[in-house]
A and B are shown apart, each in its own frame.
Chain A
């Protein structure tokens, strides 16, 4: 925009080939390893295929079959439970921790316990919590010490097992949400805060009138991240219940995996992957749009 010499068109053409050379490795790798498989999955979703012979075109039958299958619908419900639960618990507690540590001496240290689990793998979290929640395990022993002996089977009774796994995920996720909200709080300009305090605002009032509106853009990011991540929930469920007992705690990502790699229903598995992708994209778009339009409304 600002350069005056030879003129943008001539300058661009001068570097055309080097520029294409620099971008080529990225484009090629992404095209071959991400986009080609993606297209292939979309096509397979319209076929009956078990890996042997050729895929047979059956149109929308896989999709019809999916929505007739109560197990699949159960998986959809579980996935929705994950989306709602991970918004409520890890994002909510994360905001709480950020607010409590805000401007607090030693806040960095008080936040540390919440951050320790964050970089664990989903399987690592599963190993720890499966141990704690097993029958007569650490949790049952602790409850027994308080006289509670008749405990549920945490990882067996549905939908309790999904709720419990959401809490295990919350244990992991609170820290990073607290960290993100803390960064957001620190970037709030001092003047309006001081002014509000002078006017006597504090506690919930200060939060509602000043902090929350100012945290909105960041909250948008955190909530968006949480929705997208929870739709894809796989590792922790596979690690803790394998979707069981039966198929009671399956999420969509797990159902796709099982149909494809356990039952060799390649076509149906692909259709589920497509469905999951469409839902993820829709959620992102709807969410972004709502976020953008409400900005105008305020």
Chain B
């Protein structure tokens, strides 16, 4: 096919792909007074900021946003460190039966979340972790560890073992070798895992649905789902503004870090 035809086909298809985005933007910007369910294609006015403000009030989206930011930063950071420590133990310290340990950790991702929902709900209710920020951070961290350990083990396998031996000769402790030698070398992999997991956690719906309840603890996507099923009609523009607000952080992050994503996806078989 000639280049011109290819470009044309892609451009047309691309425009079709952008139509839902256009509809989202146009209708999220309509003031409740100007909004009608029967005139979706025509822009009327620009009340996007007012609608976003309104969305933050409804369904406790503002409170959810703060908590979700906490989950999406703290949990991947912890998971990256825990995963790196596991990779370090297996590769650099040559833990006996290292591969079996690795499989044990990585096996934590192969089954659907449905397998753990009910017991987690049950255990969280009994231990007082249900509907707490700590509980959410813990579960998001645990979920992120297998992938993190997987990538870090692969990454550390690429570092010559002489590096470790040289540091030992210099008199460094294992902790120091981990923190000052191995972690800094792995910074690009650490960032890649962090970005992937932060996006995954920000977009989580199911764990939030089962393990939390209050506006302050509930993750933002779960709040958005609640908002969508509660409000409609004239408040549709507010719901759409909420959807836009919730989606923007991960979409922007992704567009700026595409290559990390693709690499991580191909590696992690997500």
Contact = CB atoms under 8 A, between A and B. Distances in A.
Contacts of A169: none
Q: Majority SS of interface residues in chain B?
A: helix
Interface stretch (A99-107, A157-165, A189-197): A99-107
Interface in A241-298: 242, 253, 256-257, 260-261, 266, 269-270, 272-274, 276-277, 280-281, 284
A23 B258 CA distance: 31
Contacts of B41: 138, 141-142
A101 B110 CA distance: 33
Contacts of B199: 119
A111 B259 CA distance: 13
A37 B112 contact: no
Contact of B115 (A100, A126, A277): A277
B65 interface: no
B254 A118 contact: yes
Interface of A: 2-3, 5, 8, 11-12, 15-16, 18-23, 25-27, 29-30, 32-38, 40-41, 44, 51, 97, 100-101, 104-106, 110-124, 126-132, 134, 136-138, 141-142, 171, 174, 176, 179-180, 183, 203, 218, 221, 224-225, 228-229, 231-232, 234-235, 238-239, 242, 253, 256-257, 260-261, 266, 269-270, 272-274, 276-277, 280-281, 284
Contact of B108 (A34, A121, A179): A34
A128 B161 contact: no
Interface string B97-133: 0000100110010111111111111110000000000
B236 interface: yes
B60 interface: no
A27 B114 contact: no
Residue from B90, B112, B265 with most neighbouring chain A CB atoms (10 Å): B112
A12 B89 CA distance: 11
A91 to B, nearest CB: 13
Interface of B: 1, 3, 6-7, 9-11, 13-15, 17-18, 20-21, 23-24, 27, 37-41, 82-83, 85-86, 88-90, 93-96, 101, 104-105, 108, 110-123, 138-139, 141-143, 145-146, 149, 161, 165, 174-175, 178, 199, 202-206, 210, 221-222, 224-225, 228-229, 236, 239-240, 242-243, 246-247, 250-251, 253-255, 258, 261-262, 265-266, 269-270
Given A41-B118, A128-B24, A280 B94 contact: no
Given A41-B118, A113-B17, A131-B27, A104 B6 contact: yes
B115 A138 contact: no
B116 to A, nearest CB: 4
A122 B203 contact: yes
Contacts of B266: 180, 183, 218, 221
A218 B111 CA distance: 22
Contacts of A12: 94-96
Given A132-B20, A234-B205, A273-B115, 4 more contacts: A18-B175, A23-B105, A116-B17, A280-B111
Given A131-B240, A277-B111, A284-B110, A22 B254 contact: no
B223 to A, nearest CB: 9
Nearest to A240: B228
B262 A124 contact: no
